[in-house]
Amino acid sequence: MSGHYGQDRWNVFTYGSLMISFVFQHVTGRCPRSVEATLHHWKRFRVENESFPAIIPAHDSTVNGIVWIGLTPEELARLDEFEGHFYERVNVDVSDAAGLRYPAEAYRWSKSDGLIDAPWDLDWFKAVGIKEFSSKYL
């Protein structure tokens, strides 16, 4: 199966814990090239009783994150396992600050409940949320 970035390679847009390079490397085994990117027409929500977020489609919203370039099928499988059954991988298009577009995969929330309409903040996660997250998931 051919990916977004040539034969058997995929781009993956991340918007939460996987924006942090050591978390991404822990899950996939490496840190490929990455670019700050924006996903249009989606919104990030806090997940109830968790320190990580989720996204769902939302017409008038954008989500800032990181697009990781050229993941292998094995790395993508590790991400699928890490994200678990609460997320589903979908095709999206993201753009960088210069407007360059990247076809990518992103993990959207797959349940009908469990989200809190409150902002999720990367700086808070790095300072506070990462401790609980690491002990539970890494």
| Given 36, 75, 83, 88, the catalytic residue | 83
Whether 83 is catalytic: yes
User: In terms of C-beta distances under 8 Å and separation of at least 24 residues, what long-range contacts does 87-96 make, across chains too?
Assistant: 87/54, 92/13, 92/39, 92/42, 94/13, 94/37, 94/38, 94/39, 94/65, 94/67, 95/37, 95/38, 95/40, 96/35, 96/36, 96/37, 96/38, 96/67
Question: Any idea which residues carry the catalytic annotation?
Answer: 83
